[in-house]
Structure 1
Amino acid sequence: MTDNADIITQADDADADIRTGLDRVVANSSKILGWAIFLAFAITVFEVISRYVFNSPTFWAHESTTFLIAAIFLIGGPIALARDKHIRVRMIYDAVSPATRRWLDIFNSLVAMTFFAGLAYAGWIMSWKATHTPTGEIHLQGTGTSWNPPTPALLKMLVLACVALMFVQSLLHLIKAIRRDVDAPASAAGEQS
């Protein structure tokens, strides 16, 4: 049986990999944004009941659910980066000295920033085309269905926002890695800003 002290310790361990104040804000937002999956579930249940019990299907449920799930997927990138839970190969990283880890963190941040900068450029072009006509007037791209919500435009803007956020997160991680004192104990190095 787990007591309260163990639960608190596990919660503290879950936040141990959060490196910056921005990461903390992003990671904490997941506690609220995570409820969107339940909203998508509720919409799906409503659609099933409407369709099969009352023989009155909706024209908005599928697109709403698709939008929510896609948005949750996109927001997962900054959250994983904030919590340092992204996929990585740790064989080399765990086998080297703290000084070498620092250089690997610097290199990783630079590569990530280059990647996110490229994605942000592509996201900007994609967002502009989804929110403007060829003449430059604002017009949100719709789905083309009878409901025609502007969810494609909203998702493309969310792609740009998430990529820009991950660029800033990587920049802050780079600054933290550059400033890190490799001679300090591991617990003290994690507490430095």
Structure 2
Amino acid sequence: MMSDAQTGGLKEWIYPSAFLICAGWVVWHIPAFILDWFRPESESLFLQISELHMRKGVLPNLGGLFGGFANVIDWVALILIPVFAYLGSRSVVVAPMEFERWRRWDRFALFIGRATMMMILAMTCVMLFEVFMRYAVEKPTKWANELTLWIAGFVFLCSGFYAMQQRCHIRISILYDVVPRPIRKLFDVLSTLMIVTFSVGLVFGSYKQVFINKLYRWEMFGTAFDPPIPATIQPMILIILMLISVQAIANLIADWHLDPEFYSHDEIDEDEIAAIKRSIGVE
């Protein structure tokens, strides 16, 4: 069996879970912060967001702090998000199957990877609960399907950020493997430049549509559960794209003087097989 020093112990479960709970609470109550920080000038929009806050808020009747709409729990959750992100990033222990040549700035991406794993677990629990309620109790829920879609969207996006840090995105390396190292460096620079250019262009071209029409107006999904999927997923796309761009630049710098490992397509990687065995506690 693997020791806590090798796996990170319970901290790698507790900090990501606490981070997600706080982040989920804040995301669900963003209308309160919109009303407090960016009060709409339009009276109709103000009434619309206020109604959403009262109808969707977990504790809408709990008095807001500082004379506003966000209550003490909202503020505590907001403050704890960076706290748990910092503690979780500091406590990350790289698993044997993960990229070994990581740097200090990779800790946040590794932490997001752990949080993504927790989201997958939560999504699985929601689906199992819905199956039980639908087929065993015959009382299906109105929220399980939409909640699963919502979590899956965040899982997909955060996985891209984590995959960039792990250098495990799909790559067609036929040409890359046969050219000398200086040409490979040129390819690395060009690929990073294309990632950054695409991300900056997409953010510049769509930030008004995303952050004003979707997030600021708090667009809902339009179902019985009516989660704010458009209002949250679309801004998250732009945020993750920028994180991926920063991580791509960090990868380029970290790998600049390293010779990339090359494996024949027909070669069995015994080291990887051994790492898989160690990760599941099999010698």
TM-score interval, normalised by the smaller of the two chains: 0.7 to 0.9
* TM-score normalised by the chain length of structure 1: 0.75
Task: Report the 3-state secondary structure (helix = DSSP H, G, I; strand = E; otherwise coil) of the residue aligned with 2:137.
Answer: coil
Aligned to 1:61: 144
- What is the CA-CA distance between 1:17 and the residue it aligns to? 5.3
How far 1:47 sits from its partner (Å)? 1.2
CA distance in 2, matches of 1:49, 1:43: 10
2:245 aligns to what? 167
Quote the offset at 1:25 in angstroms.
Answer: 2.2
TM-score w.r.t. the length of structure 2 is 0.53
CA contact (8 A) 1:131 1:141 kept: yes
In structure 2, the CA distance between the partners of 1:112 and 1:141, relative to structure 1 (3 Å rule), is: same
Q: Tell me which residue corresponds to 1:26.
A: 109
Q: Give CA deviations for 1:135-173 in whole Å, capped at 9, x if unaligned.
A: xxxx31101123222122111121111011112222334
More relative contact order in 1 or in 2 (CA 8 Å, sep 6+)?
1
Q: In the superposition, relative to structure 1, how do residues 37 and 11 fare at CA in structure 2: closer, same or farther (>3 Å)?
A: closer
Q: Work out the percentage of aligned pairs sharing the same amino acid.
A: 26
1:157 aligns with 2:235: yes
Q: How does 1:13-52 map to 2 (within 5 A)?
A: 14-16=98-100, 18=102, 20-52=103-135
> How far 1:42 moved relative to its partner?
1.0
Matches within 5 A, 1:70-81: 70-81=153-164
Gaps of 5+ in 1: 133-138, 188-193
- RMSD of equivalent CA atoms: 2.9
**How many residue pairs align between the two structures?**
171
Structure-2 separation of matches of 1:15 and 1:148: 39
| TM-superposition CA deviations, 1:3-34 (whole Å, max 9, x none) | 99xx99x945632354x433342034312321
Check whether the contact 2:192–2:245 (CA below 8 A) recurs between aligned residues: no
Corresponding letter in the other structure for 1:82 = Q
Deviation at 1:176, TM superposition (A): 4.7
- Deviates most, 159-168 or 91-100: 91-100
Query: How far has the Cα of 1:68 moved from its partner?
Result: 0.8
Letter in 2 for 1:107: L
Residue ranges of structure 2 left out of the alignment (5+ in a row): 8-93, 261-283
- Relative to structure 1, the CA distance from residue 26 to residue 62 in structure 2 (aligned partners, 3 Å threshold; closer, same or farther) is same
Partner of 1:125: 208
**1:145 maps to what in 2?**
223
Structure 1 position 71, deviation (Å): 1.1
- Superposition deviation, residue 113 in structure 1: 0.9
